[in-house]
Structure 1
Amino acid sequence: MKNKIILIALCLTGIAISCKKEISPVLEYNSFTYSSKDQDAGTWTSIYLTSASQVAVAAPTDPTSSEYLSELAALKSLSASLSSDQEKKVKYWGTNGVIRWNEIARELVAKYFTLPQPNEDGSYSWPSSTDPSTYPLYPFSSPPYASRTYAYLSAGNFDAMIATWYYKFQYNRNAPSTYDASIVTHLPIQDLPAYPSEDAVLAGFSRTLLTFLFPLEESYLTTLAGEQESSRLWAGTNVQSDLSAGDSLGAKIAKLFITRGKGDGMKNTLGNQAVWDSINHVWEATGKAIWKSLEAPGRQMLAPKFGLVKPWSFTTSDVTTTYRLPAPPEVGSAEFQTALDEVMDYCKHANRDEQQIAFKWDDGTRTYGPPGHWNWIAEPYITNAQYSPLRAARVLAYMNMAIEDAGICVWDNKFHYFFPRPTNVNADIKTLMGVPNFPSYPSGHSGFSGAAATVLAHFFPSYAGTFTTLANEAAMSRLYGCIHYRFDCDAGVTLGNQVGLAAINHAIVDGGE
């Protein structure tokens, strides 16, 4: 597996080899025994739950009870002989459902990351959470929405796993095959109590949380959660009561995170015509060179209020103080002109490798966006370490909270400075891809990437150099594509690094180090 990670790193950085195969959205890995037991994980500090026992789980039946013995008999029958479809599902869900639900979330982000077409009168309609099935479908999973999706899914999974481990070791009911050795198993039996099932907790949480975020996908998500839970029966690793308790726990924790989501300010981020007009009028009155939409007909600016969304690792006031960047070079200054000339130089002379880097990191519509790109990068490092769902969720939680927090800070700065894109200043600059419909400074790709790379370097220090290289490449891709100035990219990475460190400061004291 280590060789696979090295290969992926080389593909991403473009070093030494040429990678022509398309990226697969599904990571293939062999099932494994968890690399750590983490018996004390129920005492770790959670992200949002007040304690690991905030949601109660009833005690299981005794392993010697007639009820449990009946469950063992039923399980023995279910796992004895599998169909090819059942075998595929057991292998697919494997030993780390955290990875699978992350992939599913990325799939949904890509599906809903599509720009509405203009109406006949030149106006645009936007998705509505109150009427999600009317075109354009809800949600519009732009990078701000995507970063929030990954953050809620990952942080919630981590809290749910802390609660799961708490109850596992409180009740200590072991895997079914320890009570009946004749049960055929198709996955490694972990050195952990089986009640409640970590897979069922993930299924219950992820189904509930993602249905809140993608309401039109409820049936699809319910089917997937059912398949994950059934795969534990077919694998012979859990009885039905393990699964029922786990699903209930996960769903209840998801509802707590949904409560946070309803109050985090995201519903106000798009604004409305009055908000957009007000922002434009204020900036036009300054007489400065400012950002303007280059789309025809003009499209509303994207998520002007995302900078006001509640962050994870610090306060909203920190966004406008600690993480407010110095002003960019003034348009017309010598420093600015040098930066603008550099963009034009790449417009005219970018070489093939630079163009390929620009396209590789484009992460535009119908993709899982720059935040999702970093989740894809993280996956093989997690599975190579043979992390349990608890440990996997911990990595993804801190990384994705940092990514969303970086996005919040980036958007705050973007709309604080309202700085023009290179193409706003010089119409002769031709970009390699569409120009994003929001201000230039700082670069969002750079902020997301700086945050992700910083957190991943903490968890996988041997690969810190690889992550730094990737973050810098992602940042430079925006200059190569003539979307941003160099100072946009540099400021974005610096900001992302700072936000990533804030997330790490929480990780080092949560008990899981």
Structure 2
Amino acid sequence: MKQIIFSIVITLSSIVAMAQINSPHQPVNYEAANWKTWLLNNPQQIIIAAPPSSSQSKTELQSIKQGMAKLDDKKLTQIKYWDAGAPAYRWNQIVLGLMFQKQEVLLRMPAAWMNIAIYDATILAWKEKAKYKRKRPNELDPSIKPVINAPLTFSYPCEHSVTAAAAAYMLVYFFPEKTDSIMQMAHAASQSRIDAGVQFQSDVDAGWKLGEQVAKEIIEKAKNDGSAIKWDGNMNKDPKKWTGAYPMGITLPLFTPIVIRSADQFRLPPPPDFENDMKELKNFKQNFNSRSLAYYWASHGPEIWNDLASQKMFEYRMSDDAPAVSRVYTVLNVAYHDAVIAIFDSKYTYWGIRPIQYDTTYKPLITTPPFPGYPSGHAGGAGTTAAVMEYFFPADAKLFWQMAQDCADSRFYAGIHFRTDNEAALKMGKELGKYVAETWMKK
């Protein structure tokens, strides 16, 4: 019942949040123009030309009016779809949908790389906006009536186009077989701003160029993330530890973290003998709540935290602040990226045995994953993301940590982890998430 009520609350909150999309604008803040990019080596070398002359702007204004006179239901649907939330909102939905279709790419955590590209590109876009101060089409020609709330930020370059290009090129790198559909979505996102009457064509073109340049540089960084390293075939032979046909994620400790200093920075101490943990697990009596939590969290991964971040940003009416929204998504996904590397470092340092291997008579509630148990990936990821969410939304900390604890407990209820696996991972994740958020914000 507790989980059902929680799901209902989340659903209702989302409905309320979506209703706030058309709420009054928040004050414009150009502080982000002074933020530092994260991975660009020489951001000053990524430049765009100045906005066009007033005479060309007049030609563009006429083109906007002609286009708006031909708006149909299909175009209006696209406008509303891409205008929901900040520019990064839809792309965070899209990347999570793609990730789970391709297991080998999932381990590289493309959401982190995509969001870094969006973040760095958005900062550069804000520098250009503050530099050129170009007015929106409807400000220059009051006869233009945008079909959505026109952003109060300067027009050049287009933040939706910046985001679309940065996201699209990153996603094409990770999912080349989806190139056509990804690029179609990106161009649709950009065109929707012209059709809506809130951007010039030159805004969109400049934004696309900027986003593309940033993405191509971030792609070069992603190529050296360590994922190309092959497993050497060395396998644990100790029967008191985890063994299996193929140790999934065994090369993850060799991946390059983005914020933490090394894969072993948060390495846990060795696990205890699991005799007492096994007794506790075998003596545990399932109930409706334990089963529901086990199944719920078994079918949910990082997407639940991204969705919750989106909900909170709607609730706090952050949609008009594209840099701030991008920062939340980026820190959240980068922290998760580094947490997975750190968690698997401990997993393959200790090869912690799973309950079904410690006692072969034990029957778990769900299928046991094909890698060591200590520490729990779900619990470590939940601790990490809860810590990041608490950093940005401290008033909701109780909710985040209850969710993280439920997630950790669910792996015990499912019978695939000892309680020690979960509690150690939860603590580790909390420390790592706090470290990533604080390190990012100090830059």
Asked whether the 8 Å contact 2:391–2:434 carries over to 1, the reply is no
Tell me the residue number matched to 2:65.
76
Match of 1:307 in 2: 253
CA contact (8 A) 1:311 1:404 kept: yes
**Corresponding residue of 1:134:** none
Contact 2:105 2:174 in 1 (8 A): no
Q: Give the Cα separation in 2 of the matches to 1:494 and 1:225.
A: 39
Deviations along 1:365-413, one digit per CA (max 9) or x if unpaired, are xxxx622221122111012222222111100111111111111100000
- Tell me how far apart the structure 1 counterparts of residues 105 and 147 of structure 2 sit (CA, whole Å): 37
Q: Say yes or no: does 1:39 pair with 2:23.
A: no
SS in structure 2 of the partner of residue 267 of structure 1: coil
Residue of 249, 252, 275 corresponding to 1:337: 275
Q: Distance in 1 between matches of 2:6 and 2:160?
A: 38
User: Closer, same or farther in 2 for the Cα pair 1:107/1:289, shift >3 Å?
Assistant: same
TM-score (norm 1): 0.81
Q: Is the 8 A contact 1:52 1:162 kept in 2?
A: no
Give the 5 Å matches for 1:66-465: 67-94=56-83, 95-113=85-103, 140-142=104-106, 144-145=107-108, 148-268=109-229, 271-272=230-231, 275-276=232-233, 278=234, 280=235, 283-284=236-237, 287=238, 289-293=240-244, 298=245, 300-316=246-262, 319-320=263-264, 322-330=265-273, 336-346=274-284, 349-363=285-299, 370-387=301-318, 388-465=321-398
- Bigger helix share: 2
* Residue 255 to residue 339, structure 1, CA distance change in 2 (3 Å): same
1:13-32 to 2 correspondence within 5 Å? Answer: 14=3, 16=5, 19=8, 28=18, 30-32=21-23
Task: Return closer, same or farther for 1:141/1:350 CA change in 2, 3 Å cut-off.
Answer: farther
* 1:53/1:166 contact within 8 Å kept: no
Query: Residue 257 and residue 305 in structure 1: after superposition, are their counterparts in 2 closer, same or farther (change >3 A)?
Result: same
The equivalent residue for 1:122 is: none
Residues 22/214 of structure 1: CA separation in 2 closer, same or farther (3 Å cut):
farther
Structure 2 SS opposite 1:236 = coil
CA–CA distance in structure 1, aligned partners of residues 27 and 371 of structure 2: 45
**Which moved further from structure 2: 28-37 or 44-53?**
28-37
- Shift, 1:50, TM fit: 3.8
Contact 1:479 1:486 in 2 (8 A): yes
Using the alignment, how far apart are the partners of 1:309 and 1:33 within structure 2? 44
Residue 51 of structure 1: CA displacement? Answer: 5.6
Q: Which whole-Å CA distance do the structure 2 matches of 1:446 and 1:35 have between them? A: 36
1:492 aligned to 425, 428, 432, which one? 425
Partner of 1:58: 49
C-alpha contact (below 8 Å) 2:259/2:436 kept by paired residues: yes
State the shift of 1:15 in Å.
Answer: 7.2
Instruction: Measure, in 1, the Cα distance between the counterparts of 2:436 and 2:4.
Output: 30
- How big is the shift at 1:79? 2.0
The one-character-per-residue Cα deviations of 1:89-110 (angstroms, maximum 9, x if unpaired) are: 1111114221100000111123
- Does the CA contact (< 8 Å) of 1:80 and 1:184 recur in 2? no
Q: Structure 1 20/500 Cα, relative in aligned 2: closer, same or farther at 3 Å?
A: closer
Q: State the shift of 1:184 in Å.
A: 2.0
Contact between 1:79 and 1:184, CA under 8 Å: does it hold in 2?
no
Contact 2:112/2:337 (<8 A) preserved: yes
Change (3 A) 1:444 1:221: same
Q: For residue 291 of structure 1, what is the amino acid of its counterpart? A: W
1:476 equivalenced with 2:412 (yes/no):
no
In structure 2, the partner of 1:127 is: none
Q: Is the 8 A contact 2:3 2:292 kept in 1?
A: no
- The alpha carbon displacement at 1:314 in A equals 2.2
For each residue in 1:62-81, what CA deviation from the matched residue of structure 2 results, as whole angstroms up to 9, or x when unmatched? 3x22x111111001121235
**Residue type of the partner of 2:396?**
Y
Tell me the amino acid that sits aligned with residue 308 of structure 1: L
Native 8 Å contact 2:355 2:416 kept in 1: yes
> Structure 2 counterpart of 1:329, which letter?
P
- Secondary structure, counterpart of 1:370 in structure 2: coil
Give the Cα separation in 1 of the matches to 2:138 and 2:43: 27
Size of the aligned set, in residue pairs, is 438
In the superposition, the TM-score normalised over structure 2's length comes to 0.93
Q: Distance in 2 between matches of 1:240 and 1:49?
A: 27
Matching residue's letter, 1:325: L
Q: Whole-Å Cα distance in 2 between the matches of residues 221 and 390 of structure 1?
A: 23
Secondary structure of 1:14's counterpart equals helix
Against the structure 1 CA distance between its residues 435 and 22, is the aligned structure 2 distance closer, same or farther, given a 3 Å change threshold? farther
Instruction: Give the distance between the partners of 1:494 and 1:22, measured in 2 at CA.
Output: 29
Deviates more, 1:170-179 or 1:380-389: 380-389
Q: Is the 8 A contact 1:304 1:415 kept in 2?
A: yes
Specify every segment of 5 or more residues in structure 2 that has no aligned partner in the other structure, as ranges.
Answer: none
d(CA) in 2 for partners of 1:149, 1:373: 16
Q: Aligned-pair distance for 1:343? A: 2.0
Q: CA deviation at 1:33?
A: 5.3
1:182-212 CA-partner distances (Å, limit 9, x unpaired):
1120121222111100000011111100011
CA distance in 1, matches of 2:71, 2:114: 31
Structure 1, unaligned stretches of length 5 or more?
1-10, 114-139, 331-335, 364-368
Q: State the distance in 1 between where 2:289 and 2:280 align.
A: 17
